[in-house]
Amino acid sequence: MVDSLFQEERQLLEDALWAKKRVKLRKNDWEVDQNLEKIKALSFGVGVIGSMLARTIIEQKKDWLEIVGAVDIDQTKVGVDLGRLVGLSDCGVTVQKDATKAINETKPDVILHTTSSYLERTFPELRLLAENGVDIVSSCEELSYPYATNRSMAEDLDAIAKKSQVSILGTGINPGFLMDALPILLTAPCISINKIHVERQMNAANRRIPFQKKIGAGLSEEEFRAAIRNKTISGHVGLLQSISMLADSLRWKLDDIEIEEPVPVILNREAKSDWITVQRGKVAGSRQRAFGVVGGKRIIDYEFSAYIGAEEEFDMVGIQGVPNVSFKSNPCVNGDHGTIAMLINMIPKVLEAPAGLLTMKDLQLPSAANMKIPD
């Protein structure tokens, strides 16, 4: 009986400390209070991105960020130590299947959600996590600007977040930064704007194998077009969201957003990655364009190209206005590293943010978080 009362009292104390810590984080004290404990994160989804994210945190961010729990529905991963699962030594965190149980046991400050690109698939997961009272940073592309994806679903999620007093953010390198947050920032010195062009081109040989397959690398042109028709290749997920976020930031009411079907990039030479050899005349990847239209004029122009063997890699923003603004990064920002960095670096911003379903344009200016001063 005494032991039972002691355990109950201890649990109440831990719950109170957890709640106090979360309130303190929301008062913007986290970065200035050096005595505050590490931020505790729960990894929800240990697939390709989830594994890269966990590994990066364990190896490089342990001075301020700690993974205390992990959840995945894959039965082959349940019960396995997270460190071992991501190619490291055991870290003492066992992958669980029951998210609510994992949250109650580990009491995380933030959940790192990395399961799917699509809002409809992730909505039940996000609802469950939000109802458990924990802030969420997600890699779901359609969550980056969910009001363009499914306004009703986004409004429901916003209401759930506010009721549970949690913040939810969808982010990544693209969408999340390069083709939306960055162009939005670059419009700041403009008195007037006539047109905006945003372009990203990458050599897909530098990306992971699932991405190379996603863009149709190695297929024949006929196979590529068949894959587009049956939706086994979807093109870039995020063009609709990025254009919508940019337009709404400028208070531009678009008549339409035109998203063209991805077209195959076919080279007259052989190209290789570590996993795929693209024969001459075969598909090396894809190119896709999208436009924001007002009065029949395309005032926002986006182009996304990813193919094995691209001779130039770049991220580019061109703004025609007063004054003109031109930005080009060559080579382009690495997509995998950039996505992992965005998910990690936005954690402090989300913990300090008001409750609700948020986007990158709603938060403080994004930046790297808690970088060590170089030697």
The DSSP result for 175-226, as a single string, is TTTTTTHHHHHHTTT-SEEEEEEEEEEEEGGGS-HHHHHHTTTT--HHHHHH
Beta-strand relationship, 325-329 and 314-322: antiparallel
pLDDT tier, 234 (very low <50, low <70, confident <90, very high otherwise)? confident
pTM above 0.95, yes or no: no
Residue 369 φ/ψ, nearest 5 degrees? -110, 130
Domain 2-173+338-362 has CATH 3.40.50.360: no
Average pLDDT over residues 232-236: 86
Q: What is the share, in percent, of the chain residues with pLDDT greater than 70?
A: 90
Asked, colleague to colleague, whether 2-173+338-362 and 181-332 share their fold, the answer is: no
d(CA 145, CA 76): 33
Domain 181-332 has CATH 3.30.360: yes
- Contact status, residue 306 vs residue 201, Cβ threshold 8 Å: yes
Quick check: helix, strand or coil at residue 126? Answer: helix
pLDDT tier, 33 (very low <50, low <70, confident <90, very high otherwise)? very low
Residue 196, both tokens: 């905006």
Domain boundaries defined on the chain: 2-173+338-362, 181-332
Q: What is the 3-state secondary structure (H, E, C) of 59-71?
A: HHCCCCEEEEEEE
The 10s digit of each residue's pLDDT in 145-163 is 999 999 999 999 999 999 9
For residues 282 and 4, the model is more confident at: 282
Give the DSSP letter string of 347-368: HHHHHHSPSEEE-GGGSSPP--
Number of H helices, E strands in the chain: 13, 16
